[in-house]
Amino acid sequence: MLLAGSSGAAWGDAAVAVAGELAVPLTAFTVGADGDLSDPAKGWTTVYGIEPEGAVLVRPDGHVGWRCGGAAVNPRRDIAAALRQLLATAD
């Protein structure tokens, strides 16, 4: 699962596209006021160590497998590299 900050929609789009290419199940959510998931306490970015433009990949066992604290120049490339590393696949 990918969780992106309220300004991190590009991460979700990239994650869904890359997951499709790699044929792995992955859901993506933005968290915040206008996101897919709400954050009533407004503290999830602090807990996960990211800014509103950042994102985390959460493994099925609930552990964070990858994190980017802020915006990326090329989210698709970064997500692809992270998923390949987590899945131990070659380029």
**pLDDT tens digits, 24-48:** 999 999 999 889 999 999 999 999 9
- What percent of the chain lies above the pLDDT cut of 70? 98
CA 84 → CA 2, 10, 43, distances in Å? 15, 19, 30
Residue 82 has what pLDDT?
96
12 touches 3 (CB < 8 A): no
